[in-house]
Chain A
Amino acid sequence: MIRSELIQKIADENPHLYQRDVERIVGTIFDEITDAMARGDRVELRGFGAFSVKKRDARVGRNPRTGESVEVEEKHVPFFKTGKLLRDRLNGK
């Protein structure tokens, strides 16, 4: 399923809403999650999962092509942990 298919499903269930409003609703939900992580916040959606930010320490990396050492700066990366309910559903429980 891709974004547009998700929007279509929500639109079909809500015939009283304009398509463009459904697009904004879906967009707002995902933007809000990204914005939260950009601030360093967590987003916990019980039953679905939790989005959080993990810190990766600075390290000395290597250019795999040349073997040259390169300093890699500390950085923050998005992380998702599946919720218990969804994990159980994936396994037919």
Chain B
Amino acid sequence: MSGKTLTRMDLSEAVFREVGLSRNESADLVESVLQHMSDSLVAGEQVKISSFGTFSVRDKAARVGRNPKTGQEVPINPRRVLTFRPSHLMKERVAAGNKS
């Protein structure tokens, strides 16, 4: 792993490069894509991006957890978690690109 970390800025730079909109507008578009995805997930919907992957929201039941340090029991409230399932294409590309 090369250890580089990309951010929103790199994504908007790519949009700027590919589509030729202003840097500002490119950044706004990246933000609205993330915003729409988040809103949809918060509404409990699945977000399915073909050839990328699927984000889904799962309900977790309440359970009794344990503080691993003290061994004390603590209740864990029911909660919603987000899972991402990469597409076959993404899995293949990531596996091929990182082959040693």
Q: Which of A25-62 contact B (CB under 8 A)?
A: 25-26, 28-34, 36-49, 53, 55
Contact residues in B for A65 (Cβ distance below 8 Å): none
Interface status of A2 (Cβ within 8 A of chain B): yes
Contact residues in A for B100 (Cβ distance below 8 Å): 74
Q: How far is the CB of A82 from chain B (nearest CB, A)?
A: 4
Q: Does A77 contact B95, Cβ atoms closer than 8 Å?
A: yes
Q: Does B33 contact A45, Cβ atoms closer than 8 Å?
A: no
Interface status of B64 (Cβ within 8 A of chain A): no
CA distance A73 to B19 in the complex (A): 39
Contact residues in B for A75 (Cβ distance below 8 Å): 95
Q: Does B45 contact A1, Cβ atoms closer than 8 Å?
A: yes
* Residue from A9, A10, A31, A78 within 8 A of B94 (CB atoms): A78
Contact string, B1-30, partner A, CB cutoff 8 A, digits 1/0? Answer: 111111110110011001101000010011
Other A-B contacts than A24-B18, A76-B99, 6 sampled, CB-CB below 8 A, are A10-B36, A30-B51, A32-B10, A36-B4, A38-B97, A41-B4
* Residue from B32, B45, B89, B90 within 8 A of A10 (CB atoms): B32
Look across to chain A and name the residue whose beta carbon is closest to the beta carbon of B29: A25
